[in-house]
Amino acid sequence: METTKKQETVAKTECQQLKESGFSGFVTIRQLMNDIRLAPAQKGVYVILRKSSSTPVTFIANGTGGFFKGKNPNVKIEQLEKDFLPDAQILYIGKAGGASLKATLQSRLSQYMQFGQGLPIGHWGGRYIWQIQEARDLLVCWKPLVTEEPREVEKKMIAKFKETYGKRPFANLRN
């Protein structure tokens, strides 16, 4: 019982911290797939998260991710189970745009959503998400950035996550 309370406290803290640090949105993947205009057309960082760390997750062998350049995005369920952090609410941290990149949160999340719908889009990062059976019920939040570089903010967020959990978020395959 005590472990469950601890998990809920961590999950609430992650969501609260995101909100307190300027993240907004908190819409489901399903909502974003239906209306990508919910995301801002600005550079920034985004997070894919579970509504609660106690929400069960079921992995599927063949996810909905697209085969970009004919490459299979799926990994074995054993790999997903090994990388999954049941205490964490945050599953993936991503970025959009930067000094030399024209992408916006809206355009990058659009690519991510299209990839998750099986289209051959080059959004290989975060592909583990699409092997979660309940992927469309996951939440997406974002933080537009005016002066900060999205890649630097993303790296700091991943480093902070690693301090807490000992490894990267579930679907982040690199720092």
pLDDT digits (tens, 9 = 90+) for 90-114: 999 999 998 787 899 999 999 999 9
Q: Which residue has the higher pLDDT, 60 or 123?
A: 60
pLDDT tops 50 at residue 1: no
175 lies in some domain: no
Q: Do residues 45 and 150 lie in contact, with contact meaning Cβ atoms separated by under 8 Å?
A: yes
pLDDT in tens, 11-64: 456 888 899 999 999 999 999 999 999 999 999 999 999 988 888 899 999 999
Q: Do residues 33 and 117 lie in contact, with contact meaning Cβ atoms separated by under 8 Å?
A: yes
Residue with token string 């051959």: 120
173 lies in some domain: no
133 lies in some domain: yes
80 lies in some domain: yes
Tell me how crowded residue 149 is: count the other CB atoms within 10 A of its CB: 16
Give Cβ neighbours of residue 163 (< 8 Å, ≥ 6 apart): none
Half-sphere exposure of 131 (CA within 13 A, CB side): 22
Residue 139 CA, chain-centre distance (Å), reads: 8
116 lies in some domain: yes
Domain extent at residue 31: 2-165
- Residue 42 has a pLDDT of 95
171 lies in some domain: no
170 lies in some domain: no
Confirm whether pTM is higher than 0.75.
Answer: yes
- Residue 142 has a pLDDT of 98
Domains in the chain: how many in total? 1
pLDDT tops 90 at residue 74: yes
146 class by beta-carbon count within 10 Å (0-12 exposed, 13-18 middle, 19+ buried): exposed
Closest Cα partner for 126 from 112, 136, 139, 140? Answer: 112
| Strand 44-49 relative to strand 24-28, pairing | unpaired
21 lies in some domain: yes
